[in-house]
Amino acid sequence: MALTESKIKDLEDKKFDELYTNHKAKWDTAYKNAAEFAKKHVTHGNDPRPDDVLKVLLPTIEADQDLRDHQEENKGRAKRFVGFFGEYIIDKNL
């Protein structure tokens, strides 16, 4: 995972930081669930690396209606924004 300053600025330009803040509890829960799943099933009890968590987290957030609505409203439908946002969620929880 490489959440760079450039990616953060791209997310902020499309107001993904507001999406995170407005639904913080949901995103933090999604992170926690993904991290627990990765620890149990991917790293077999070892602490997962952020990229391991991201692989589990992405399918959850890709289907989220709040995220999809936000992408539509803010012209942020490019696939890269979902990955960047997943990295952002993980970064906020580390």
Q: Quote the number of domains for the chain.
A: 1
Residue 35 has pLDDT above 70, yes or no: yes
Domain that holds residue 28: 5-93
pLDDT, tens only, 64-92? 999 999 999 999 999 999 999 999 999 99
Give mean pLDDT, residues 18-38: 98
Whole-angstrom distance, CA of residue 45 vs CA of residue 71: 35
Q: Quote the mean pLDDT of the chain.
A: 97
Which pLDDT band, with edges at 50, 70 and 90, does 2 fall under? confident
Give the model's pLDDT for residue 1: 65
Whole-angstrom distance, CA of residue 60 vs CA of residue 58: 5
